[in-house]
Amino acid sequence: MSKDQVRFVLTDPNRIFLALLTLHIPALYDSTETKKHASPDDPYATKWLAMHTAGYGPYHVESLQAGQEAVFIANPNYVFDKPFYTRIIWREVPSAATRVALVRTGQVQYAEQIPLQQIKDLKADRSVKVESVAAPGAATLRMNPRMPPFDRVEVRQAVAYAIDYDAIGEAVFFALGTRSRSMLNPPIPGAINAYRYETDYNKAKQLLAEAGYPNGIDVTLEYSNNWWWEEPLALQAQSSLARAGIRVTPKRIPSTEMNSRRAINVWTLPFMTHLTSSFVPDPSYNMFLTAHCKGGSNVNGNCNPKLDQLIDASVVERDNTKWLKLVAEAQELQAQYATFVETFLPGTHEVFVACVNGFMWRPHNRLVWKDLACSR
C-alpha cells in the first residue's frame, strides 16, 4: 500500500461507516506545521490551533476576534480549483434586521439565520437571492424522561397531543416549514411517518388524568437564541398547551447555559427547545446520535433499552429489507415514547446578494465558501 493510501479494517459489518466518511469533521491537520507550535504542556498544539488553521482546505484563518469577527484568506497551496473569493470576513451581527439591511444594500454578500417572516419578504426582492432547501433539522420540544412530570409517558404524550400544529405552522414558520413526522428527517433513507400526533385537547386531558394529574401540571419551558424560532415556538406552545391544562412558563436562558446544561451526561433541562439534525444522511447514525442511550446528541436523557437494541441491530444488519424494518420499528417506538415533540422543519434559507451563484446544499447543512462566485 502506498504512503498516500489509507485502509480501514472493520471487525464487524457497519452500515454507518461509508456514510460517516462524508462528514466534514474531524479535520485533517498538517502535522509538520502543527508540531512547530507544540510544547510539553500542549503536545497537540491545541492553544495555537484555537486561533490558527493548519489544514488542507481552501481557506486559512488570518485573524480571529472572539465574538466579533474572523478573517479567512485563500490557501495558496490548495490542490483543487482555486476559490473565487480570496478573502472572507465573517462578522457577528446579532440583529437579524441589521443582517437583512446589510445584504439588501450590498454591504455584505451573505447573511445567515434570517427569520422566515423576513425570508418571505426577501423572496420578492430582486436585489437579493434566497436559496431554499427543505433540509433536515426539525424544531422540537424535548422532554426529559428522567425528571417529573415527564417521567410518565402519558404526560409526554399529552404534551404531543396538546400542541396546535397548524397554528405553529402559520405563526412561527409562516407556511414555509414542513411538518416533521419522525426523528429521521428527509433526505435520510428509511424515514417514515412515525409521528402521528395531531391536536386533540380532550385526549391530552385524559392522558394527564391517567398519569395522576387530573388538574393539569405546571412546567417551565426553557429556550435560548441558538435558533431564531425558539422564542416564538415557546410562546405558541404556551398558548396551545394551556388549553389542555398544561400551564407553561417560558424561560429564556443564555445560549451558553443552554449548551452546557444539555451536554451529554448532564441533561439538567426538563423541558426545552432544540433543533435535531444529522450531518450524516444515514438513519442508524442519526438515531444513535439523538436517541440512543449513549448518543452524543441525546440531549434530553432518553434511555430506552429496547430502542437501543433496535438501533444497534440496524447498524450491523446487511439485508436491506430487514434493515428497513428495524429502522421503521425504531422510529415508531421513539414516537410512542414521546420524548420529542416534532413540529416543523424550518428548512435552510440562504440569503445572498443577487450576483452570487454556485450554492450547493450538503448534508452537513453548512455553507461551503469555495462553491460561491459573484457574476455581475
Name the nearest CA neighbour of 123 among 104, 139, 138, 137.
Answer: 104
265-298, pLDDT tens digit by residue?
788 999 999 987 777 888 998 898 888 988 877 7
217-223 β-sheet, strand order: 178-179, 340-345, 138-143, 271-276, 217-223, 246-252
Cα gap 328→193, rounded to integer Å: 9
Which letter does DSSP use for residue 28 in this model? P
Q: Characterize the bridge pairing of strands 246-252 and 217-223.
A: parallel
d(CA 136, CA 285) in angstroms, rounded, equals 14
CATH of range 27-133+350-374; options 3.40.190.10, 3.20.20.140, 3.40.50.150, 3.40.50.1100: 3.40.190.10
| 195 phi, psi to nearest 5 deg | -90, 100
pLDDT along the chain (376 residues), means of 10: 73 84 78 93 91 90 90 94 96 92 95 88 92 86 95 98 97 91 87 96 98 98 93 97 98 92 84 85 88 80 89 93 96 95 92 95 86 90
Which residue type does 215 have? Answer: N
CATH topology classification for 138-345: Dipeptide-binding Protein; domain 3 (3.10.105)
Residue 2's pLDDT is: 54
Each residue of 52-81: pLDDT tens digit? 888 899 999 999 898 899 999 999 999 999
Predicted confidence at residue 1, as pLDDT, reads 52
Q: What is the pLDDT of residue 87?
A: 97
Residue 58, exposed/middle/buried by CB under 10 A (0-12, 13-18, 19+)? Answer: buried
Amino acid 240: pLDDT:
98
Domains 27-133+350-374 and 138-345 share a fold: no
Nearest 10 degrees: CA dihedral of 30, 43, 70, 96?
110
Measured CA distances, 269 to 58, 303, 305, 333 (Å):
39, 15, 22, 23
Predicted TM-score (pTM) of this structure: 0.79
Domain ranges of the chain: 27-133+350-374, 138-345
Please, which residues bridge with residue 72 across strands? Answer: 61, 88
Q: Which helix (H) or strand (E) holds 356?
A: strand 356-357
Question: How far apart (Å, rounded) are the C-alpha atoms in residues 292 and 294?
Answer: 5
